[in-house]
Amino acid sequence: MVPKNVYLFGDSVARGIILGDDGSYMPIRESFASLSAQKLGITVVNKARFGCTITKGLGILHRFMSSERIPETAREGDKGVAILEFGGNDCDFLWDQVAAKPEADHIPLTPLDTFCRVYGQMIDSLRAKGFQIALMSLPPLIAERYLAWITRNGLSREAILRWLGGVEKIFTWHEGYDRAVREIAAEKRCPLLDVRKDFLALGDYGEYICADGIHPNRAGHRLMEASLERYAALA
């Protein structure tokens, strides 16, 4: 049975933000969430935010629960489905600091152990309130395109590459957070909306990713829509 209420927590991917032709970020009406809501006849409450990390997401979740005054419930699924989509910002670095000091150690915005711990807290909090939870895998990025984007305003490409050890390290580092999401989904027994699998199955998925190398474009959102609808068909 398709759930009537879906609550979406995540970052700009879940929010439906793409990079426009003028080089600025903009929301689109035909995001995967909006397209699926129209097709399936469901209500999507989108609490995703641009630039959101898992720790910021936990704060948004707590404020949501407080404002909604959601009572405790023993039945999972009573309140609808909460879809969680995090990791793309968590694994990112302060690239200006990396470029300035490529010989130094640098940590991501959310270290992986913190990411996993807080993700688990979000799941436990939602489950205790009667939500069914599904996790979304990370759409794959395009490393060379992303490096060009973060160095477009003068950051040293050479210095960043010296710290990375190679451009593909961007892809494998990002992939590590996707792997963590999969492990959390298995450990917490949450369904996984595997949008990453659908992108990778294309082989060359460049036409589905924005010029910044990390945000799905309009075609990418249509691809993600299919993933969400497959999950809904099995719910």
pLDDT at 84 (0 to 100)? 98
Distance CA 54, CA 30 (A): 25
Computed over every residue of the chain, the mean pLDDT equals 92
Query: b/e map of 84-95 (b: 16 or more CB within 10 Å)?
Result: bbbbbbbbbbeb
Angle of CA points 42, 82, 32, to nearest 5°: 55
CATH of domain 5-234: 3.40.50.1110
What DSSP designation does 206 have? G
pLDDT at 74 (0 to 100)? 47
In the chain, domain spans: 5-234
Contact of 180 with 87, CB cutoff 8 Å: yes
What DSSP designation does 207 have? G
Cα–Cα distances in angstroms (integers) from residue 63 to residues 56, 98, 158, in the given order: 11, 34, 43
Single pTM value for the model: 0.92
The rounded Cα 146 to chain-centroid distance in angstroms is 16
Distance CA 75, CA 216 (A): 35
**Region for 164 from its dihedrals, namely left if φ exceeds 0, alpha if ψ lies in -120 to 50, beta otherwise:** alpha
Distance CA 17, CA 25 (A): 6
The tokens describing 50, both together, are 């641009």
pLDDT at 42 (0 to 100)? 87
Query: Tokens 């992986």 label which residue?
Result: 112
Query: Tokens 């991917």 label which residue?
Result: 13
36: nearest Cα among 57, 6, 13: 6
| 34 burial via Cβ count (<10 Å: 0-12, 13-18, 19+) | middle
Torsion angle, alpha carbons of 208, 139, 48, 95, to 10? -100
pLDDT at 1 (0 to 100)? 45
pLDDT in tens, 37-94: 998 888 999 999 999 999 999 999 999 988 765 555 545 556 789 999 999 999 999 9
pLDDT at 2 (0 to 100)? 53
pLDDT at 70 (0 to 100)? 59
User: Residues 6 or more apart from 112 whose CB is under 8 A from it?
Assistant: 91, 176, 177, 180
pLDDT at 20 (0 to 100)? 94
For the chain, list residues with pLDDT below 70. Answer: 1-3, 68-78, 233-235
